[in-house]
Amino acid sequence: MRMPKVIDTDYLVIGSGLAGLYFAAHASEHGRVTIITKRGLRDGTTFLAQAGIASVLGDDDSFETHIADTLTTGAGLCNENAVRLTVESGPERIKDLMDNFGVQFSEHSDGRLDLGLEGGHTRRRVAHIQDFTGEGLMFKLENAVRSNPKITILENTMAVDLLSNAKYGKSNSVFGAFILDRNTNTIDTVIAKATVIASGGAGKVYIYTSNPDTSNGDGIAIAYRAGAEVENMEFYQFHPTCLYHPSAKSFLISEALRGEGGILRRADGTAFMNSYHDMAELAPRDVVARAIDTELKKSGDDSVFLDMTHLDGDFLTKRFPNISRKLLEFGIDMTKVPIPVVPAAHYCCGGIKVDDSGRTNIPNLYAIGEASHTGLHGACRMASNSLLEALVYAYRAAQEVKNSTLERPQEIIPWKSGHAVSSDEGVVVSHNWDEIRRTMWNYVGIVRTDKRLSRAKARIDLIRDEIRNYYWNFLVTPELLELRNLALVADLIVYGAQRRHESRGLHFNMDHPHRSEFYHRNTLLFRGVGPSHS
């Protein structure tokens, strides 16, 4: 532990994925930026993104077609203005990446972009860097931010809570955050004109997830605690195809494989997607994940199989070098044998409610990327629309923050660490963590019922009570902060799911199996209307 410090900056960015870094690069044109990230710069979800960025780039495509596909996949809950804004801004953002950040997307031999196809899309429109798009993007953006003298990067640093003028008897506006330096276990204070949450999703709330260990909804939780509005948390997306292997930790098998002709088969070799949807393997993700779930429950098998063996082997290894290599490490040659796959939690379609410039309901607090809810995805996100959304809203927020002015109290009340006794009960944290993730998987997964949701709520309530006592009695640790955030996010998901008595997009409840006009609306949660924030 060292003496706490106060850091002054113009824009504080919490999170270091595509949205955070792209915002930082653009916002640095008119101010100083401080990025905090709880592990290394590359430890977020973007780095793992395989498929790419959806945008209207092909001769046979149009804005209207991309908009229509997004609306259909979103099952009636997309905000049409957000969809139009995002889709129409796409080509300009892609050009910015190529011209100003040096991103090189995969191309055909004649120099045209090689566009991928994924579920829900009726045209090829996914710009990609083979099958490691996220890694390729992060490499370029990391170079841009690390070499920019106006950007400071604090790794191993996590947000504890936002600083709000409401604590000083004024109207609620945010002026920075308390942050935990994990290297020294010190809580510092950052003062900023604008605070931007870009901390990604919350896949770790489920036991099986394609997300990295960092994705536990920290940003959504701290924003909710500060009074931000949060929407549609019940729409958690499960990716249909993650590798089923004891040591693979839900390695993603990109939807782009189905875009190139992959076929989903039962263990006995029969293809089944045609009996679930006209678009078969390329149906929206909620349909494919539910179909796989149904097949597994019927057969009792551990996995279904994605068959690529009918496609040219050279093509597969060139188009999917990352996935081919990884599969070979597990002894699976996808050119010869079908790949065992199962669904896993993948993307948070809800999040912190924002307007078309990433502004939340709290002055000087912004949210971008997966932590935000712009209305683009509705009840089910169309594949590869999210990296596009991250770029569009990060850019717009970077223009908007120019107008922020710092409002802060004269004296800031420093962070107080409860009774500050060092915890020797780390095991309690990990037990609670496991229990939340299992509860969510078992009761708040792909298929839900009223009873399962009530069970989940009762368990999450108990755990949150325990954390409340624990949290205030012991020295704050990163694990405890993450647990507290994870439990709140789980509560937000369950709370939203319990209030939607219908089935729509990613929320499927067997007790209410149909779509209902009454629920043709967003689920808005905030302190007072939603789970307890403490």
Catalytic residues: 285
For residue 119, the minimal CB distance to ligand SIN (Å) is 8
Nearest to 263 by CA among 252, 277, 274: 274
**Separation of alpha carbons 441 and 459, rounded Å:** 13
What would the x/- binding string for ligand SIN be over residues 341 to 360, using CB under 6 A? -----xx-------------
| 45, 173, 250, 386: which one binds ligand SIN (CB under 6 A) | 386
For residue 521, the minimal CB distance to ligand SIN (Å) is 25
For residue 50, the minimal CB distance to ligand SIN (Å) is 4
| 55, 130, 214, 384: which one binds ligand SIN (CB under 6 A) | 384
Residues 194-253 that bind ligand SIN (CB under 6 A): 252
Which DSSP category does 169 fall into? T
| 103, 339, 383, 398: which one binds ligand SIN (CB under 6 A) | 383
| 256, 345, 349, 489: which one binds ligand SIN (CB under 6 A) | 256
Position 106 contacts ligand SIN (CB under 6 A):
no
For residue 438, the minimal CB distance to ligand SIN (Å) is 24
Helix, strand or coil for residue 116? strand
- E-strand ranges in 324-393 read 339-348, 351-353, 365-367, 372-373
For residue 252, the minimal CB distance to ligand SIN (Å) is 6
For residue 127, the minimal CB distance to ligand SIN (Å) is 12
| 13, 33, 51, 197: which one binds ligand SIN (CB under 6 A) | 51
**Separation of alpha carbons 141 and 98, rounded Å:** 11
Nearest to 142 by CA among 181, 102, 113: 102
* Strand 126-127 with 115-116, pairing: antiparallel
Per-residue three-class SS string for 431-472: HHHHHHHHHHHHHCCCCECHHHHHHHHHHHHHHHHHHHHHHH
For residue 285, the minimal CB distance to ligand SIN (Å) is 8
288's enclosing H/E stretch is helix 285-299
**Would you say 20 or 262 has its CB closer to ligand SIN?**
262
Are 262 and 309 a contacting pair, CB within 8 Å?
no
Q: Which stretch binds ligand SIN (CB under 6 A): 201-209, 379-387, 480-488, 506-514?
A: 379-387
**Would you say 191 or 349 has its CB closer to ligand SIN?**
349
Q: Which stretch binds ligand SIN (CB under 6 A): 382-390, 399-407, 434-442, 498-506?
A: 382-390
Nearest to 58 by CA among 102, 22, 101, 94: 94
**Would you say 176 or 201 has its CB closer to ligand SIN?**
201
Q: What CA dihedral angle connects 194, 14, 492 and 448, to 10 degrees?
A: 140
Position 129 contacts ligand SIN (CB under 6 A):
no
Q: Which stretch binds ligand SIN (CB under 6 A): 64-72, 293-301, 306-314, 378-386?
A: 378-386
Q: Which stretch binds ligand SIN (CB under 6 A): 16-24, 151-159, 254-262, 268-276?
A: 254-262
How many positions of this chain bind ligand SIN (CB under 6 A)?
A: 11
Are 156 and 181 a contacting pair, CB within 8 Å?
yes
Position 180 contacts ligand SIN (CB under 6 A):
no
Position 56 contacts ligand SIN (CB under 6 A):
no
For residue 142, the minimal CB distance to ligand SIN (Å) is 21
**Separation of alpha carbons 236 and 222, rounded Å:** 19
**Would you say 245 or 452 has its CB closer to ligand SIN?**
245
Rg (CA), the chain: 22
**Buried b or exposed e, range 277-286, using 16+ CB within 10 angstroms:** bebbbbbbbb
Nearest to 139 by CA among 18, 317, 13, 15: 18
**Would you say 133 or 189 has its CB closer to ligand SIN?**
133
Position 50 contacts ligand SIN (CB under 6 A):
yes
Tell me the C-alpha to C-alpha distance, in Å, between residue 347 and each of 45, 113, 212, 449, 485. Answer: 10, 26, 12, 21, 17
**Would you say 132 or 433 has its CB closer to ligand SIN?**
132
Position 255 contacts ligand SIN (CB under 6 A):
yes
Position 254 contacts ligand SIN (CB under 6 A):
yes
**Separation of alpha carbons 58 and 64, rounded Å:** 13
**Separation of alpha carbons 209 and 249, rounded Å:** 8
**Would you say 34 or 386 has its CB closer to ligand SIN?**
386
For residue 15, the minimal CB distance to ligand SIN (Å) is 18
Q: Which stretch binds ligand SIN (CB under 6 A): 139-147, 200-208, 358-366, 380-388?
A: 380-388
**Buried b or exposed e, range 146-167, using 16+ CB within 10 angstroms:** eeeebbebbbbbbbbbbbbbee
Nearest to 50 by CA among 122, 163, 137, 179: 137
Q: At 487, list the tokens.
A: 């439990």
- Site residues, ligand SIN (CB under 6 A): 50-51, 252, 254-256, 346-347, 383-384, 386
